Amino acid sequence: MSSSATEVPSQTWPQIGIELLEQVSSRVNPRSQTGVVRRGDTKELLHFKRFEDLDQLYCEANALRWAREATLGRADVTVANVVGICPEQCLMLTEYYSQYESLFNYLWNSTSLLAFGRRFRSLTPTEITEQLVRWLKALHGTESPANGYVPGSLPCLKMIRAKLDALETRFSGTVSSATLKRLRGFADRFESEVALEQNVGTCRIHGDFVMSNVMIGPAGQLVVLDLADSRFGWPAEDVVQLWHQFWALGQVSRRRLREFRPCLELIEVGFGLREPGFSAKQFVLLRHLNAITSLLIFKIHANQLGWGGFVAARKQAMASLQWLESGNWGA
């Protein structure tokens, strides 16, 4: 097993020999589907996610169970419940959350002009943010922060460098060469500063805390999914990823900015993101990571989006680009 798989203690899993009787979801993603399955003599509706190898399967199943147990009873948000695995088919089976939708779709649709005044909202954006902030605190607080920083090995700096390389080679011209140079300089300076910092705590993080990895149910129940990228890192990595999505959604229109600004403030205050010193610098660094990621994702997936999705994604990516080019990184 890889080291990432063994970071969460290995667990035993009920092994379920399943037979797919009927597929009920029409998701485009062949990895992640829902169907009626037979196990033993009973039929059940389950969600199943297919992995390339057992290592990845155990890694995510263990991480989901860890996150679920660590936060149970400490927040209203829950984590997808893994009911078992089917090693022969490399499947992880989770409880099926019927009539849930992605948090991104929920926030997007419920704040659109067309929805104004008409759509019943089981939770407001600020209520959602409060719940997610509480959940993240519970998740990150479960292991005492270790001063685990090893110079040069910070995953988020590696990610930024890899993404800057992509902007220089595969996507050259996306940002100006002056900005690219400034970004590289910033990453280098940050790395030397962080090496002097004594209290950089790391803990196990979600690792991909995007709104499409959170579902919301008809009565406003929030369920976190997809811990495939869970790893050790700064708690702020999850936090700023969440912040960045509210920020990007707020850049689409003034009305949305009004809706989402209080969410940004809740996250900033809840985690002290703007506190002068290391926190503020870390916040800026992670904003870079998220802004660059959002630009690259747009470049890579733009042609797979429908017209509405394209326009919205373009506005968000352009806002990130503008922020990066402005050099006014405190704003």
Contact positions vs ligand ATP (CB under 6 A): 29, 31-32, 47, 49, 80, 94-97, 100, 102, 212-213, 215, 225-226
- Please state, as a whole number, how many other Cβ atoms lie within 10 Å of the Cβ of residue 109: 13
**DSSP string computed for 100-146:** -EEHHHHHHHHTSTTTTTTS--SS-HHHHHHHHHHHHHHHHTTS--B
Looking at the Cβ atoms of 130 and 226, the one nearer to Mg ion is: 226
Please report how close the Cβ of residue 61 comes to ligand ATP at its closest, in angstroms. 11
Closest approach of Cβ 95 to ligand ATP, in Å? 6
C-beta of 94 vs 213, nearer to Mg ion: 213
Beta strand residue intervals within the chain, DSSP E: 19-23, 32-39, 42-50, 78-79, 82-86, 91-95, 101-102, 203-205, 214-216, 222-224, 231-233
Residue 97, binding choice from ligand ATP, Mg ion, none, Cβ under 5 to 8 Å by partner class: ligand ATP
Q: Is 292 exposed, middle or buried (0-12, 13-18, 19+ CB in 10 A)?
A: buried
Instruction: Mention every residue, 6+ apart, whose C-beta is less than 8 A from residue 179.
Output: 324, 325, 327
| Binding of residue 213 to Mg ion (CB under 5 A) | yes
- 230 forms part of the interface with Mg ion (CB under 5 A): no
For residue 309, give every residue at least 6 positions away whose Cβ sits within 8 Å of its Cβ, in sequence order, or none.
none
In the bound state with Mg ion, the residue whose beta carbon lies nearer, of 224 and 236, is 224
Our finding on whether 111 is near Mg ion (CB under 5 A) is: no
The reply to whether 241 sits near Mg ion by the rule CB under 5 A is no
* Nearer to ligand ATP (CB atom), residue 61 or residue 187: 61
Judged by CB under 5 A, the stretch of 80-88, 223-231, 241-249, 280-288 that binds Mg ion is 223-231
163 binds, among ligand ATP, Mg ion, none (CB under 5 to 8 A by kind): none
Q: Which spans of this chain sit near Mg ion (rule: CB under 5 A)?
A: 213, 226
